[in-house]
Chains A and B, each alone.
Chain A
Amino acid sequence: MYTKHFRTTLGGLLAAFAAAASPAAGAELRIGTSAEPSALDPHYHNLAPNTAVRMHVFEALVGQDAKQRLKPELAESWRAVDDTTWEFKLRKGVKFSDGTPFDAQDFVYTVCRIPQVQNSPSSFTIYTKGIDAIETPDPHTLIIKTAAPYPLLPVELSTFGIMSAEAAKGENVKFEKAGCKADSWPATAQFNDLSLAIGTGPYKFKQFTKGERIVLETNPVYWGRKPQFDAVTFRPITSDGPRVAALLAGDVDMIENPPIQDIERLKNDPKVAVSQALSNRVIYVALGVQEKPPTIEGTDGKNPLRDKRVREALSLAIDRDAIVKRIMLGVAEPASQLLPAGFFGHDPALKLTSDQKKAKELLAAAGYPNGFKLTLGTPNDRYINDEKVAQAVAQMFTRIGVQTQVDASTANVFFSRRNKEEYSAFLAGWGAATGEMSSPLKSLVAGRDKDKGFGTTNYTSYANPAVDQPLAQALATVDDKKREALLQQSVRAVIEDYGILPLHYEVTSWATRKGLTYEARADQYTLAFDVTSK
């Protein structure tokens, strides 16, 4: 509640005081973050704030650039030997921050340790379970075997950081599919107290005070380009208004996620620079196609959303340009599929239009000339302006005759209810951590299938073989060109069936004091080593 007031208060005051900001210079970079990692243990919690901090200290085998394309990191090169065998050539001469050399055993130990993390609220095993066997013919070559063709292996190996086997006394641990054996496994607390927080990245940890700050200093034995700032302090400032104020007051040099209503003013401030990038997150409306709709009235218990014409009518009712312009204040881009252009699997041919007249005709043709009553669920503190967007969508639905009410709740309540399929329609977002179309397809719209791991966030009961088949085939196709064509076929099938209604892609913003530049990233991570000063 009060954060909203901060924003309004700040809005009025910013204009008057913005000119007075006085940034400080130095070899230290202070960053105000909007969320804090739950631990420094790189394998404890598969969560964006944890990964962002992890990337400074623990490098992965494979890296992702600002557009989420894969790039060499600890592995110099990789190739698929055959459909189920991959060879990774590791970088030579790399040292951990404690001076011990990096080699294949560190990767083996990391993969072994990931399933052993105690109390992990969300484990990285989803990215390691594809690995069937690991061979290390020499210290700088990894042969990884998978049970079935697994084209996503390089992408998934970019999601977790490598820890030092020597530091954890794991030099002799061997990979076993059923579970590796070791006398003991490192505890998360040993990373939080920094004793095991040893990686190969450009920085190393110097201090961690939960809720207050994380301090990094440069890793003197880093193999790559030395970052421009010798020391970095991350300060969690979770409220939007105070975070902007901290930048204007010169308390911090850079902030992530400034509130969108302040971005225009920040851009006009001569002492502040703003960088923005289209993110990998799509905001969508999901339509439940269950036999018995939980939040639809006026249809005698039938579910109108099972009719493609009704779903198309609802899609036509949405004016995506208006949402982007009026509610997102231009800090977003209208979406016609599940990932924006430039991402793997994007189909440039897809378009979504808005046409109220045609929408009404379709509703009438489907047997609902007078519409029906629908409740649209939404979180109110998870995505940028989520509740306002939902209100706008509800009004647009109502305009074609589908009287829509918004049911907004705080994220923890919303997600619990959504996961019990309590909404016939809900607004949510999906960020593709892997930067690939297979991520949203597999989780959001593929029919639920426990064995394949399909439909894990599909709370609409939607299932369409025309989507699932090419997707399953793509996930078993190692050839990139063929795989991209299959993913495009799959996403086309779901969009043309109106199985999900994409609204817009979020744009992520960063604000820095003038003189600093940051290459905005699609994955929304704030990386200090990519900040440069003129």
Chain B
Amino acid sequence: MTDETVAPASPAPTPNQKVWDAPVRLVHWLLVFLVALSWWTAEEGDMQLHYWSGLTIVGLLVFRVYWGFAGPETARFSRFVKGPGAVLSYASKLFKPDYRASFGHNPLGALSVVAILLALIAQVGLGLFASDTDGLESGPLSPYVSYEFAKDAGDLHEDAFNILLILIGLHIAAIVFYLVIKRINLIGPMITGSRKAESVEGPASGIAPVPLWRFLIGVALAALVVFLIVWVPTTR
């Protein structure tokens, strides 16, 4: 008897809060895949695939930076990049009973987002100009720089990847921390876009939709930049 009363057929479902739109999630997972692919192709010496993998990352970064100004609330830099005060305040509340998960990036995690974006931009920026010591392989913009510059860019491209690896390691460690210690699953929302709206900040309904044309402009912009990087050097 008691069973029937405590287990009703359908408990009122916890409303879902939409936190990440499809473009943000897609860019995230494509970056995961392409950074891994770039690493692997560099180790294997498959420079043709490395070249295109890197150029695709360039396109994704152009889009993501644009989306940081044109995308929904949780994608915008102005919304999630906070000063040291907010970061410290967030960190101090992390273990308090009234802790509430942030709507989108928390102030501390925002630092990680910005650092990874900058590291990726530097990484592809160096790769575009890089050449190997033999003058056998080079990035698309390498013809514009001297052998010495291109070689240094290539060496730095290789060394700086370690910085990216450290940042990715910290990013994963933070996700594990939230999952194990705070019992907050951050991976699910990055896949589905939504999280259970229990004790979180922000509007219950989550992010508002963004008009399709804004997304299409971003895609066109990214494609244009990649096209120009590939095409302009062939017309010198």
| A, B from the same assembly | no
* Chain B residues in the interface with A (C-beta under 8 A): none
